[in-house]
Chain A
Amino acid sequence: RKEVEQDPGPFNVPEGATVAFNCTYSNSASQSFFWYRQDCRKEPKLLMSVYSSGNEDGRFTAQLNRASQYISLLIRDSKLSDSATYLCVVNVAGGFKTIFGAGTRLFVKA
């Protein structure tokens, strides 16, 4: 079983749609969580950190459920420019490991 699992997609949605991604992690010692986006052949860019209380940044909302060991990302009012691969990232305490999920591809179409 992978330490961080994401639905690879692709998710094909029209502009204006709401789309949600989930990510599960297996290590209960996981300490901090992030969402990154990666455009084709580019480096990952930090989208947002994920806090236990949940956090929102404009059209993006991230949630963490420690009991069920998953994090989620909600994108509202999708734009064409949101098309990218979204990476779930987990930092594990103790072992000092950063683990990237394989990513979920999103295509937003006009």
Chain B
Amino acid sequence: EAGVTQSPTHLIKTRGQQATLRCSPISGHTSVYWYQQALGLGLQFLLWYDEGEERNRGNFPPRFSGRQFPNYSSELNVNALELEDSALYLCASSLHRVMSYEQYFGPGTRLTVT
């Protein structure tokens, strides 16, 4: 069974540009989570989607947004990129919106903003 996949693996952008990151969950999983992990820091929760709707978001500005498609894949968009947005962006999926289910992570997209 395929795991969570993310694309691209690496992304280099300049300040002020927009970045789009993509995630495909494990087959059968309906919930997708996005996290930011800056170098040497812990995971910071960004967004949670389930059944096509945004269920919760972390303490990030509105220029971080996303969506979930009918096939449960998801997209994270970061507008007006800033240098401090450079980080590893991790996507995770879980079986259902019920919070007791474990989350499984993709390999991440490493975003570098210059």
Cross-chain contact A96 with B41 (CB below 8 angstroms): no
Binary per-residue interface labels of chain A (29-65) against chain B in the complex, 1 for a CB within 8 Å, 0 otherwise: 0011010000001111110010000000000000000
Among the 9-residue stretches B14-22, B63-71, B77-85, B102-110, the one with 4 or more Cβ atoms under 8 Å from chain A is B102-110
Cross-interface CB contact of B108 among A31, A32, A43, A102, cutoff 8 Å: A43
Q: A95-B56, A97-B56 are in contact. Are A46 and B102 (CB under 8 A)?
A: yes
Chain B interface size, under 10 / 10 to 19 / 20 to 34 / 35 or more: 20 to 34
Interface assignment of A98: CB less than 8 Å from any CB of chain B:
yes
Considering residues B35, B41, B43, which has the most beta carbons from chain A within 10 angstroms of its beta carbon? B43
Q: Which of A1-45 contact B (CB under 8 A)?
A: 31-32, 34, 41-45
- Docked Cα-Cα span, A99 to B103, in Å, equals 12
Query: What 3 A-B pairs come out closest when comparing CB atoms?
Result: A102-B42, A43-B105, A91-B99
Residues of A within 8 A of B (CB): 31-32, 34, 41-46, 49, 87, 89, 91-93, 95-103
Cβ proximity bits B71-114 to A, threshold 8 Å, 1 near / 0 not: 00000000000000000101000000101101111111000000
A18: shortest Cβ distance to chain B, in Å?
26
CA distance in complex: A45, B4 (Å): 12
Residues of B within 8 A of A49 (CB): 102
Q: Are the CB atoms of A44 and B43 closer together than 8 Å?
A: yes
A-B contacts, 20 of them at CB < 8 A, read: A32-B100, A34-B102, A42-B107, A43-B90, A43-B105, A43-B107, A44-B90, A44-B105, A46-B102, A46-B103, A87-B42, A87-B43, A89-B103, A95-B56, A96-B55, A96-B56, A98-B33, A98-B48, A98-B99, A102-B41
